[in-house]
A and B are shown apart, each in its own frame.
Chain A
Amino acid sequence: MKLSEVKEILKATVLVGDDRLVMQVNNAAASDLMSDLLSNYQEGSLLLTGMTNVQVIHTSLIAGITAIVFVRGKEPSSEVIALAEEHGIPILKSSFNMFSSCGMLFSSGLKNIR
Chain B
Amino acid sequence: MKKEYEIKARDFVRAGKAAIGVQNILKSIGFEQDIIRRVSICAYESEMNVVMHGADGSLLLGVENKEIVLEVRDSGEGIEDIELALKEGYSTASEEHRDMGFGAGMGLPNMKKHSNVFEISSQKGNGTYLRMVFWVNGNRE
- A residues with a Cβ closer than 8 A to B are 32-36, 38-39, 41, 43, 49, 51, 53-56, 58-59, 61-64, 79
Contacts and interface: CB of A to CB of B under 8 A. Distances in A.
B106 interface: yes
B110 A35 contact: yes
Contacts of B15: 55, 58
Contacts of B110: 35, 38-39
By DSSP majority rule, is chain B's interface helix, strand, loop, or mixed? helix
B104 interface: yes
B31 interface: no
B78 interface: no
A59 to B, nearest CB: 7
A62 B40 contact: yes
B100 A39 contact: no
Interface string B77-110: 0000000000000000000000011111111011
B75 interface: no
Which residue, of A36, A59, A61, A62, has the highest number of chain B Cβ atoms within 10 A? A62
Given A63-B41, A64-B37, A55 B12 contact: yes
B: contact size bracket:
20 to 34
Interface stretch (B16-24, B60-68, B122-130): B16-24
B33 interface: yes
A9 B37 CA distance: 30
B37 A41 contact: yes
Nearest to B106: A35
A62 B104 contact: no
B104 A35 contact: yes
B13 interface: yes
Contact of A62 (B12, B20, B103): B20
B113 interface: yes
A78 B106 CA distance: 29
29 contacts: A33-B101, A34-B102, A34-B104, A35-B105, A35-B107, A35-B110, A38-B45, A38-B106, A39-B109, A39-B113, A41-B37, A51-B100, A51-B101, A54-B12, A54-B16, A55-B48, A55-B100, A56-B101, A58-B19, A58-B20, A58-B44, A59-B16, A59-B44, A59-B101, A61-B16, A61-B20, A61-B23, A62-B40, A62-B43
Given A41-B37, A55-B12, A35 B45 contact: yes
